Structures are given as C-alpha cells and as structure tokens.
Amino acid sequence: MNRRNGLQTPSEGTARTRRYLDRIARHDGELNAFLHVDGEGALAPAAPGPLSGWVVAVKDNICTRGQKTTCGSNMLANFVSPYDAHVVTRLRANGATLIGKTNLDEFAMGSSGENSAFGATRNPHDLARVPGGSSSGSAAAVAAGLCDAALGSDTGGSVRQPAAFCGVTGIKPTHGRVSRYGLVAFASSLDQIGTLARDVRSAATLLTAISGHDPRDATSASRAVDDFAPQGVRGLRIGVLKGDLEREGNDERVVAGIQRAAKALEAEGATLVDVALPSAAHAVSAYYLIAPCEASSNLARFDGIRYGARASAADLRATYEETRARGFGPEVKRRIMLGTYALSSGYYDAYYLRAQKLRTLIRRDYESAFASCDVILGPTAPAPAFSLGERTDDPLSMYLADIYTLPASLAGLPAISTPCGFTEDGLPLAAQFVAPAFEERLAISAAAAIERSLGPFDVAPRYADGLPRSLSAGAA
C-alpha cells in the first residue's frame, strides 16, 4: 500500500472494508453509532482517487441516494433520498468507500446524542456517558474505530463538541466553504458540514475533498479549494482567551488541558497573546433565538402533507397536529415553539432582531482579536463528557455545554476541536482553535502542533483490537 496518499489495490480496500464491517457487527450493538450500515454498497468497487481505501461514515441528515436519510426522527423514518448530497458526490468521486449512516440528535438539535428517535448513542470511552451532539454517531464511530473518518454537520458546535467528548478531531469550516446541498436544513445561516477523524491530518484531507463551490447552494463561496495540510506554527501568534479559562463553571481539568496546549504551542515556536471576545458571553442567548427561529421556518415543511410521515385524522387541522405531535420529539418541539414565538407579531424586534445585532457584535469582536493574533485558542467544552440522563430534564444546563463553540458559529468562522489530554479516569479533554474566515489551515496547523506535542490520540482503549492502520498522509 502507498500509505503516503492512502491508495490501495481493490483487494486491499475490500479487505479493509470487511474488517470495519466486522468491527461494526461486534461493537455497535453497545454504541448505537450507526442507523444504517450499507455492507453491499461498501463492498462494491469504488472509483480511484485521493481517498481510495478510506472507509467513511455519513451523518444521517446528509442525503445519500437510494438510502434512508432519517435525521434521527420518526418524521423521516421511511424517507429514502432520491439523490446524493454534494459532499457525498465528492466523496464518491474521490474514491472513498461509504459504509453507512450515523446516529444523531433529531434534526441535529441536541448537545448530547440522547435525542434520536432511534435511541441514544454512547461514548466509546465510557458507555455510561454521552458522546456529545448532534453528530454523536459520527464521533463515536470514529473514536471506536468503526470507520476511518466521518462527516457531520455543525450548527452551533455539533461537530466540535462530540469530537471533544469522544477524543477525536472535528473541523467546522467557514460558512460557505462546503456546499450544504443535500444537508437537511436546521438553521440555514449557521449549518455547515464538517469532518471528523482520529488525527488532524486525516480530518484536513477529508475537508479538502468535500470543499469547493457548488452553484446549487446559494451560500457556497466561489473560492479555490485550499490544501488544508497542516504546516508548522513557528512565528504564529496564538490568541489565548483568558476570560474563557477563568469562567465560573469550568472544570479545572479542562483549564489545565488548555494551559498545557498553550505551553506546547509556545515550545513549538508560537507566540502567545491574550485576547478577549466581550460579546461572546451572550452567545448562548443569541444562538438559542436565531437557531430556533430558523428551525421553525425550515421544519414547517414537515406537516404530513408536503413532506414527512402523515398521521390519519378527521380533518386537515387535526392531520397537521397529529402528524407533528407523533413525528417530532420533545427537543425539536421545544425549539420550534421557541422560534415561532420569537418570530410572532410584536416579538420579532424584541428577540430575533436583537439577537442578530448581537451576532454582529460577536463578529466584530473576532475581527478586533485577529488584529493582534492569527488564531484563537480556548476550550471546546467547559467540562468532559457528562453522564447519560444527567441533563435531559435541564435544557439550560444542556445548552450551556455549547458555550465555547457557539461564538465561532455565529460569526461563520472556521474552528477545529482536537484532543489535548485525558482526565484521570480516561475521559478526553479538547482544545478549540478558531481562525479568520477561509483560513482553516491556520487552525489546522495549530491543532496538528498540539497533536505532535501531546498525542498521539487513538481509539478508545476498549476498541483497539484489530483496528486497520491509519490511512492519513504521513502514516507509517
């Protein structure tokens, strides 16, 4: 095998895929990372390309032709997509093998992986803990070595936060860098498809493969695709968010992990500077107005008439009510109601418009910070993965798990979460890097430096048996 670029012979690729299918059969019963495994399709010959030999999973809110795309919801439990999302087309064209669709919080609404209509996903490092959300299945599948890499979607942290909880790398690109064509919409001004892998270089390679302009997505940027391969950090100015590290409620182990990461970057030749994002303290409030408002609009189509499952009822109004009552879970209903209320007559200016103004202030804070640094370092989450069921009855506590990922989402900036150590009981810790728009490589380079210094970080120990070797560039 040519491990420098991942290319394999057809027989090597088939053998690799079979090993992953075997691992899924052995381990996914306890993880619930996959909603659908396409064994027949995965074993079919793939096109030659830069991702030949790569076995990739796809979050189940990304359309795949001829397969179910459920969004983790009873509303779409039987929906079979008639077309491929742009990113799926790109994966196929680059030679990747698609092994199946991964579990998620319903319609990508959640921070724990517990909101799927088809059961919660569990964290490979501790089966009693959450894997994070909403890309729970993608993160857990990568962390357990059930695939080489995976696609997720990130609206307010749904790639980065589960990557942090599961001990893998997750990249959210600049809004517009990757086409959203074929991604079932949650909040259109925030949604972005991202990548997850067990090392930084693999996540960056996958991002290169799916990036680029697509005229079918009106928000797709007309920019050349960059090579996101990491470079050195000597001379790079790293902004450290001291305010985030001093925030009340942070787990001290997270703070210590970020401090270790900062020292590691300094040892690699980077310069540390203190920066602040004053308006980011209000990001949770702004996000949980903007995202529910857009969700209320986007999910209006699932009414039992135009799209989605249909309940039998006596008249049209009852059909609407019964369909949505049965089809949507509690968290989706909560967000639709929040958004509908905020958009209703007399409340638009008081809520939605003010939240958008705050979003502008957050973007300006980033612009000011990047005047003195190249990339910003901070926590991905305020604490390691919490226990299953711990926050299900406390939505505010659940939403606060996204406090550090939301600002970059609201500003539309690229961000990466990468492991920076473990707690004494083996739970992953993670650092987040945020870069200026379309400067993904800066964040990726900083994350790679952490990986070199503090890693390597591999699969959860209980799943290390029989794992195929890494296909990332530079692997031995």
Catalytic sites, residue numbers: 59, 134, 158
**Taking Cα atoms as reference points, which of 173, 167, 153 lies closest to residue 108?**
153
Q: Tokens for 95, please give them.
A: 């030679």
For the chain, give the longest Cα–Cα distance: 70
CB 158 within 8 A of CB 201: no
CB 159 within 8 A of CB 170: yes
DSSP assignment letter at 305:
S
DSSP H stretches of helix in 94-234? 136-143, 160-166, 200-210
CA angle 408, 202, 106 (to 5 degrees): 55
CB 169 within 8 A of CB 419: yes
- Phi and psi torsions of 100, nearest 5°: 165, 180
The string of DSSP codes covering 118-136 is T----BTTBTTB---SSSH
Distance separating alpha carbons of residues 428 and 384, to the nearest angstrom: 7
Distance separating alpha carbons of residues 105 and 156, to the nearest angstrom: 13
Beta carbons within 10 angstroms of residue 301's beta carbon:
11
- CA gyration radius, the chain: 21
**Taking Cα atoms as reference points, which of 232, 183, 177 lies closest to residue 206?**
177
